[in-house]
C-alpha cells in the first residue's frame, strides 16, 4: 500500500470508529470532527474517503451531508468492474427511453441489467442516438457520478420502436403540410406524399416517418385522417396510440374465449368446497361490470368473526402458454377511462364466465379468515370453491344502508335483504377493528378521493367532481388487504416465489427536497437514518391544523416512491406490511393471476414446479410494473383531456383557487369549485419581472420584491384551453389576501437524533 493511500486510511479511521460507535445515528463531518476532537480537518479529503466507504457499502450517505455506519448484516460487496468504480470502461444496458421537454431524457434499466443501478440513467441532449420517446434502447455507460448517485449514458441502438406511426394535428405552413404530434416530446413531421384535403386542416391524423428529412425536420407520409380532436372516438384513439395500448384482441385469444362455456360445468365444480349456501355479496362502483371479489361473514359464538373472501378463479380458464394468457401478459392490466375500459381479458371472461355475477354459479379461490373478538386474525385457510352471489351491491347503496339515515325506502330495502343486512353491520364493525390495527402498526391513513368525469350522451365532458369515499369503500379495501396479506404469508411460509407488491422507503434526497419545501411553513420531515411510515403519518397529522394542509400533504405524498411488483420482497412501506402481494383482482391485473397459479400449484402438490417458475415471475413482474405505469399515465391523460374539454365551456369565468405548485414556468393553480389544475404562465403575471427562487419554491419580483408562493389564494379565469396539449392556461383576476401564512414562521425542528 502506498504512503498516500495509507495516510488517507489513517486519516479516516477515527471518523469511521466514531460512526460505528454512534450507529445508527447519522453524523455530519463537522459532528464527527467534534467527537474525534479535531479542531482542524481536511473536509475535501474526508468527504472523498467517506464516499469510498459508501461505494464499498460500509457506510451509507443520508441526504447530502450525513453519513451512517452500516451494520455487518447490511453491508454488501461493492459492484465489480471499472464502471462500477466510476472508471471509464463502458457497460451496456437495455431499457426504455423517456424524453423530457428540456431535451434530455432518462432510461430505466430493465431485466438483470437493473442490478447496481438504483436510479434511472441520464441521457443528455445529443446522446439519444435517434431514439424517440418510449423506444426500447441499448445504452452505453459514459460515466458514473458516485457523489450525485447519477449514471450518465449514451443510446447506441434502438431495439424496438414504441410507435411505428405518429399521431398529431395537421397544420399548413406556407406551401407545405406539417403533422404536429399530440405528444410534444416528438418533433413535427413534414408530409412529403400526397397532401391532405384543405378541409383537413386542424384535424387529427396518422403519419408514418420515412427516415428522411425536409428542411431540418423529419419527413413522413400521411396514412389517414382520423377526424376532429373533439370527437370522443378520436380522443380515445389518440390516448391509446400515444401510450401504446393494445385495443384489438387477437383472433386466437377471441377464439379461445368463444370456446368457453357461459357457466362452469359439473366437472369444473368437482373437488371444490361448495359454498353456494353462504350469502356472498359483491360491492363495487355503480359503473363496474367485472366483479372479481365477493365477501361473506359469519359471527362466531365467542364474539369473533369468520370472513370469506372469494376471488374469481381466472387461472382455471386462462392456462399458461395459451393465446389468452399471452395477450393478458402483454397487456398486464385493464385500463379504465371515463366512458369505457380496455380489458385485460375478452368480455366473455371479464364480464361473463369469470365475473361473480349475482345468482350465477362461479369458480373461486377462497381466503377463509378467522378473527377473535378484538379483530385479530387467528387462523387462515385457502382453498378452491364454488359460490353463488346473492346480490350485486354498490358502495353508495351499502353506505346508505349502514348509515343512521331512516327513510321508508331504506327501511324497506333493509328488511328485504334479510340475513344480508345484519351481516353488513357486522362487516362494518370488523372493518373498523382492522383499520385501527393497521394504523397502530404504522400504516399510512390515506383517504384520497379520485376525480370523476360526468359525460353527456354524446360522450362530452359536462362535469368534473371528486368521488366521495365512504365506509363501504373502506370495508372492501380492508378485507382485500387482509386476503392479500394472508396469501403472501402462506406462499412465503412454503418458500414459493411470487410477484410481491413492494413499496420501498423514500429516497433521502427526496426527503431533503421535501424539507426544503416545508421549511418556510415551519415543518420538517423528521426521521432517524431510514424513514418509517410512522414518520410520514406524524408529519401528515401535524399538517392537519394548517390552512394549507391539502396542498402540503400532496407534496409529502409526492416524495414517496411508486409501488411496484418484484420477486424480491422488501415489504410495503405505505401499508407498513412486511410482506404483501396482489391476489384479489385477477380479471384486471396479471400479477394477481400469477399469484393464483402459484397457489394452485401448492394445492396440487406441485411445489417444485412452483419454485422453478421464479425466473419467469421476475420478468413478468418487471413488465407488469411498466404496464401499470403506462395505464396510469394513459388514464391521467384522458382525465386531463376531459377536464380541458369541460373548461372550454367555462372560459373567462372567475373562480377561486390555490397555488399548488410553483415552477420556472409559472404558478399551477387548482380551482376550489372543480378538481382542475391550470397554469398561470410567468410571462403573463403583471406588475414586475419574475424569477424563480428554487429553495423557496417561489416567484420573486425583481423590482417590487413581491413573492408568489405555494398556497397563495387567487381568483383566476381560464384564458386558453388546448385539447392537443391537454392544458388549461389561467389568468390572474386578483389575489386573495389571507392570514394563512404567518409573518414569522417558526424555525423547523432538526431531524431526530
Tell me if residue 329 falls in helix, strand or coil.
Answer: helix
Tell me if residue 43 falls in helix, strand or coil.
Answer: helix
pTM: 0.80
Those residues of the chain that have pLDDT short of 50 are 1-6, 73-90, 740-753
**CA torsion, points 394, 395, 397, 400, in degrees to nearest 10?**
170
What domains can you pick out in the chain, each with its CATH number? 3-69 (1.10.10), 92-160 (2.40.50.140), 166-227 (2.40.50.700), 251-497+584-631 (no CATH), 645-736 (2.40.50.140)
pLDDT of residue 605: 95
Measure the CA–CA gap between 170 and 197, rounded to whole angstroms: 10
Q: What is the pLDDT of residues 288-344, one digit of tens each?
A: 888 999 999 999 999 999 999 999 999 999 999 999 999 999 999 999 999 999 999
Measure the CA–CA gap between 716 and 678, rounded to whole angstroms: 10
**CA torsion, points 133, 139, 140, 142, in degrees to nearest 10?**
40
444 within 8 A of 537, measured Cβ to Cβ: yes
Question: Which residue has 359503473 as its cell numbers?
Answer: 287
Of 609, 633, 307, 283, which Cα lies nearest the Cα of 471? 283
pLDDT of residue 146: 55
Residue 100's alpha-carbon distances to 46, 127, 216, 686, 723, in angstroms, are 37, 13, 21, 29, 20
Amino acid at each position: 500500500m502506498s504512503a498516500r493511500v495509507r495516510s488517507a486510511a489513517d486519516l479516516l479511521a477515527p471518523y469511521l470508529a466514531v460512526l460505528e460507535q454512534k450507529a445508527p445515528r447519522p453524523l455530519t463531518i463537522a459532528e464527527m470532527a467534534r467527537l474525534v476532537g479535531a479542531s482542524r480537518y481536511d473536509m475535501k479529503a474526508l468527504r472523498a474517503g467517506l464516499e469510498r466507504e459508501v461505494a464499498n457499502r460500509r457506510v451509507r450517505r443520508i441526504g447530502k451531508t450525513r453519513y451512517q455506519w452500516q451494520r455487518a448484516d447490511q453491508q454488501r460487496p461493492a459492484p465489480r468492474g471499472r464502471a462500477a468504480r466510476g472508471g471509464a470502461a463502458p457497460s451496456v444496458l437495455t431499457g426504455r427511453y423517456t424524453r423530457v421537454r428540456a431535451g434530455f431524457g432518462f432510461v430505466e434499466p430493465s431485466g438483470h441489467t437493473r442490478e447496481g443501478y438504483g436510479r434511472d440513467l441520464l441521457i443528455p441532449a445529443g446522446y439519444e442516438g435517434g431514439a424517440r420517446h418510449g423506444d426500447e434502447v441499448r445504452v452505453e455507460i459514459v460515466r458514473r457520478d458516485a457523489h450525485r448517485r447519477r449514471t450518465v449514458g449514451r443510446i447506441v441502438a434502438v431495439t424496438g420502436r414504441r410507435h411505428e406511426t405518429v399521431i398529431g394535428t395537421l397544420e399548413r405552413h406556407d406551401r407545405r403540410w406539417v403533422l404536429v404530434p399530440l405528444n410534444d416530446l416528438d418533433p413535427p413531421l413534414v408530409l412529403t406524399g400526397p397532401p391532405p384535403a384543405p378541409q383537413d386542416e386542424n384535424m387529427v391524423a396518422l403519419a408514418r416517418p420515412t427516415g428522411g428529412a425536409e428542411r431540418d425536420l423529419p419527413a413522413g407520409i400521411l396514412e389517414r385522417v382520423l377526424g376532429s380532436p373533439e370527437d370522443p372516438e378520436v380522443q380515445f384513439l389518440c390516448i391509446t396510440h400515444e401510450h401504446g395500448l393494445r385495443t384489438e384482441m387477437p383472433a386466437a385469444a377471441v377464439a379461445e374465449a368463444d370456446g368457453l362455456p357461459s357457466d362452469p360445468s359439473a366437472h369444473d365444480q368437482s373437488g371444490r368446497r361448495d359454498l353456494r349456501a353462504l350469502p356472498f355479496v359483491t360491492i363495487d362502483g355503480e359503473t363496474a361490470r367485472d366483479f372479481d371479489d365477493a365477501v361473506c361473514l359469519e359471527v362466531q359464538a365467542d364474539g369473533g368473526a369468520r370472513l370469506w373472501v372469494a376471488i374469481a378463479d381466472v387461472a382455471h380458464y386462462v392456462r399458461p402458454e395459451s393465446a389468452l394468457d399471452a395477450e393478458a401478459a402483454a397487456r398486464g392490466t385493464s385500463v379504465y377511462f371515463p366512458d369505457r375500459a380496455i380489458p385485460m381479458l375478452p368480455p366473455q371472461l371479464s364480464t361473463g364466465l369469470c365475473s361473480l355475477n349475482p345468482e350465477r354459479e362461479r369458480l373461486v379461490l377462497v381466503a377463509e379468515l378467522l378473527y377473535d373478538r378484538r379483530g385479530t386474525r387467528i387462523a387462515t385457510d385457502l382453498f378452491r370453491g364454488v359460490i353463488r352471489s346473492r346480490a350485486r351491491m354498490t358502495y353508495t347503496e351499502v353506505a346508505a344502508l349502514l348509515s343512521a339515515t331512516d327513510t321508508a325506502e331504506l327501511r324497506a330495502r333493509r328488511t328485504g335483504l334479510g340475513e344480508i343486512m345484519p351481516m353488513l353491520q357486522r362487516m362494518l364493525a370488523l372493518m373498523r377493528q382492522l383499520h385501527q390495527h393497521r394504523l397502530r402498526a404504522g400504516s399510512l391513513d390515506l383517504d384520497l378521493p379520485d376525480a370523476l368525469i360526468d359525460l353527456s350522451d354524446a360522450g362530452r365532458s359536462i362535469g368534473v367532481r371528486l368521488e366521495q369515499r365512504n365506509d363501504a369503500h373502506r370495508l372492501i379495501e380492508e378485507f382485500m388487504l387482509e386476503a392479500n396479506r394472508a396469501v403472501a404469508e402462506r406462499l412465503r411460509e412454503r418458500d414459493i416465489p411470487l410477484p410481491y407488491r413492494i413499496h420501498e422507503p423514500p429516497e433521502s434526497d427526496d426527503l431533503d427536497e421535501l424539507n426544503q419545501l416545508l421549511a418556510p411553513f415551519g415543518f420538517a420531515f423528521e426521521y432517524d437514518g431510514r424513514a418509517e411510515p410512522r414518520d410520514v403519518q406524524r408529519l401528515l397529522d401535524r399538517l392537519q391544523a394548517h390552512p394549507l394542509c391539502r396542498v402540503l400533504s400532496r407534496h409529502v405524498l409526492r416524495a414517496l416512491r411508486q409501488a411496484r411488483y418484484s420477486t424480491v420482497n422488501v415489504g410495503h412501506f405505505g401499508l407498513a406490511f412486511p410482506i404483501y402481494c396482489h391476489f384479489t383482482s385477477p380479471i384486471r391485473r396479471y400479477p394477481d393471476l400469477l399469484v393464483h397459479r402459484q397457489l394452485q400449484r401448492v394445492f396440487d402438490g406441485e411445489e417444485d414446479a412452483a419454485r422453478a417458475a421464479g425466473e419467469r415471475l421476475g420478468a413478468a413482474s418487471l413488465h407488469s410494473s411498466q404496464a401499470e405505469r403506462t395505464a396510469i399515465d394513459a388514464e391521467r391523460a384522458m382525465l386531463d383531456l376531459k377536464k380541458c374539454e369541460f373548461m372550454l365551456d367555462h372560459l373567462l369565468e372567475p373562480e377561486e383557487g390555490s397555488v399548488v405548485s410553483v415552477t420556472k414556468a409559472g404558478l399551477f393553480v387548482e380551482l376550489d369549485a372543480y378538481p382542475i389544475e391550470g397554469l398561470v404562465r410567468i410571462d403573463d403575471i403583471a406588475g414586475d419581472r419574475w424569477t424563480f427562487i428554487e429553495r423557496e419554491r417561489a416567484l420573486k419580483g425583481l423590482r417590487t420584491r413581491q413573492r408568489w408562493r405555494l398556497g397563495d389564494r387567487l381568483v383566476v379565469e381560464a384564458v386558453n384551453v388546448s385539447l392537443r396539449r391537454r392544458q388549461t392556461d389561467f389568468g390572474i383576476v386578483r389575489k386573495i389576501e389571507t392570514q394563512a401564512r404567518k409573518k414569522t414562521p417558526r424555525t423547523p425542528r432538526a431531524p431526530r437524533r
